[in-house]
Amino acid sequence: MFKIERPATAIQTNLAAIFVSMELSRSTWLITSLLPGNGEKMSKHPIAAGDITGLFALFSKLRERSRAKTGQTYPIITIQEAGLDGFWIHRALMKEGIESHVVDAASIATPRRRRRVKTDRVDGEVLLRVLLAFKRGEPRVCSMVLAISHEEEDRRRIGRERKALMVERVGHVNRIKGLLLSQGITDYEPLHKDRRQRLEDLRTGDGHALPRHMKAQISRELDRLELVMEQIKAVEGEREALIAAQNTDKTKPSPVTMLLGIKGLGAEFANILWAEGLFRHFDNRRQVAAYAGLAPTPWQSGSIDREQGVSKAGNPRLRTTLIQLSWLWLQHQPDSALAKWYKARVEHNGGRMKKPTIVALARKLLVALWKYVTSGVVIEGAIMKKV
């Protein structure tokens, strides 16, 4: 028995570009580079986080070093993970004529049979190898994130801020109700307009006035609650102004206006559907479903063939909105083809599996809305609002 010695798999060194990976953190950026004519050696260069001038200076040094070794000038191709830095670095690189890629870190394959080493140096090398494989055209090596414009990114702020404010409002309301419940009071609604007057008239379950310090605490909670409510109104005003600004072309309605024309879709749903997903270009319905994380994930191996459910790899805000909209769709559009499909599917399952079926309805509804805003294909049986 003898061991066959296999040569180590070498990185392709006949490259027509300088490949660079950027491992970004809040304190340091670790830049890993691979130059033509430099063999398989990867070079690592730490720079201060946010130092975009130092990054461009480093790129100039890499170009000079490559020119000294090969006598030619090569373009630079970079890769970075999508994260807290957003797309500003990507935009700065593209503005300087540098080819930049932003990768979804969760799409990069990692070894699973043991604990893996994770450091910035190792991650930088992995990113660089992923970039090389991607540029060679290897399929399913990773998923690159499609960067969006400043305007498209800023438009998302309205829906996301309103969502955060609504969560904060619920927290204040629940906190006030919890405090009052400890005193036997269950009929107080902090969102009613007479909340201040009602607070003065409250009596505990044993007939006493509300304790002084608790009353002061609830009063301060109401101060914060009212501030949040004012901010929600301001955000909703910005949302209405944004929707109105999109109706500049009188001959053709904007996509958001088209969505608002469907019964059951309000301003918040329409704005989120458009700002979080439908503004993008998709080639087919599979891409639409995959972007929302509603694509199926089959598991097939030999005689095993089962469905694991949706991937959840897409935009979580869009996916959550579609699930909520699907439940409302059954109420407001009961005679539509999609609602009838859902009811028939549930009846076929004996009234069971309503939640998995509503997820399937959400996928179908998203595809139908995409066809509607892009091609004007009206959803079969859908009721439109009266103008």
**What pTM value is reported for the model?**
0.82
Quote the CA–CA distance of 4 and 149 in Å, as a whole number: 53
184 and 130 within one domain: no
Assigned domain for 6 exists: no
Q: pLDDT at position 362, please? A: 96
Quote the CA–CA distance of 267 and 244 in Å, as a whole number: 11
Quote the CA–CA distance of 221 and 229 in Å, as a whole number: 12
109 and 128 within one domain: yes
> Looking at the chain, how many residues does it have?
387
Which run of H or E residues covers position 64? helix 52-70
3-class SS at 22? strand
Quote the number of domains for the chain: 3
- Tokens representing 368 are 């139908």
116 and 30 within one domain: yes
Assigned domain for 7 exists: no
Quote the CA–CA distance of 75 and 88 in Å, as a whole number: 21
Quote the CA–CA distance of 374 and 279 in Å, as a whole number: 9
Q: pLDDT at position 3, please? A: 36
139 and 78 within one domain: yes
Whose CA is closest to 130, among 98, 102, 104, 108? 108
Assigned domain for 383 exists: no
Cα four-point dihedral sign 78, 82, 84, 90? positive
- The answer to whether 328 touches 334, Cβ cutoff 8 Å, is no
Provide the β-strand partners of residue 311: none
Backbone phi, psi, residue 351, to 5°: 80, 0
321 and 222 within one domain: no
Assigned domain for 13 exists: no
First-last CA distance in the chain: 84
Assigned domain for 250 exists: no
User: What is the maximum span of the chain, computed from C-alpha positions, in angstroms?
Assistant: 92
- The answer to whether 223 touches 245, Cβ cutoff 8 Å, is no
Assigned domain for 262 exists: yes
Q: pLDDT at position 148, please? A: 86
Assigned domain for 281 exists: yes
188 and 130 within one domain: no
Q: pLDDT at position 15, please? A: 63
- The answer to whether 209 touches 184, Cβ cutoff 8 Å, is no
355 and 273 within one domain: yes
Among 183, 217, 245, give the residue marking a domain's end.
Answer: 245
- CA distances in angstroms from 139 to 28, 131, 133, 136, 154, listed in the order given: 32, 12, 9, 9, 33
103 and 195 within one domain: no
223 and 240 within one domain: yes
Among 190, 210, 245, give the residue marking a domain's end.
Answer: 245
3-class SS at 262? strand
CA 176 to chain centre: 32
Per-residue pLDDT of the chain (387 residues; tens, 9 = 90+): 333 344 444 444 456 899 999 999 999 999 999 998 766 789 999 999 999 999 999 999 999 999 988 888 999 999 999 988 889 999 999 999 999 999 998 888 888 777 888 888 888 999 999 999 999 888 888 889 888 888 888 999 999 999 999 999 999 999 999 999 999 999 999 999 999 999 999 999 999 999 999 999 999 999 999 999 999 999 999 999 998 888 766 677 889 999 999 999 999 999 999 999 999 999 999 999 999 999 888 888 888 888 888 888 889 999 999 999 999 999 999 999 999 999 999 999 998 899 999 999 999 999 999 999 999 999 999 999 875
Among 196, 219, 245, give the residue marking a domain's end.
Answer: 245
308 and 229 within one domain: no
307 and 288 within one domain: yes
25 and 99 within one domain: yes
Question: Which residue, chain included where needed, has tokens 């309103």?
Answer: 162
- CA distances in angstroms from 52 to 18, 22, 55, 65, 71, listed in the order given: 18, 12, 5, 20, 27
Q: pLDDT at position 110, please? A: 83
List the domain range (segments joined by +) for residue 166. Answer: 153-245
Assigned domain for 333 exists: yes
CATH of the domain at 82: 3.30.420
Q: pLDDT at position 115, please? A: 80
Quote the CA–CA distance of 159 and 271 in Å, as a whole number: 7
Strand extents, DSSP E, 35-135: 43-48, 76-81, 99-103
CA 225 to chain centre: 28
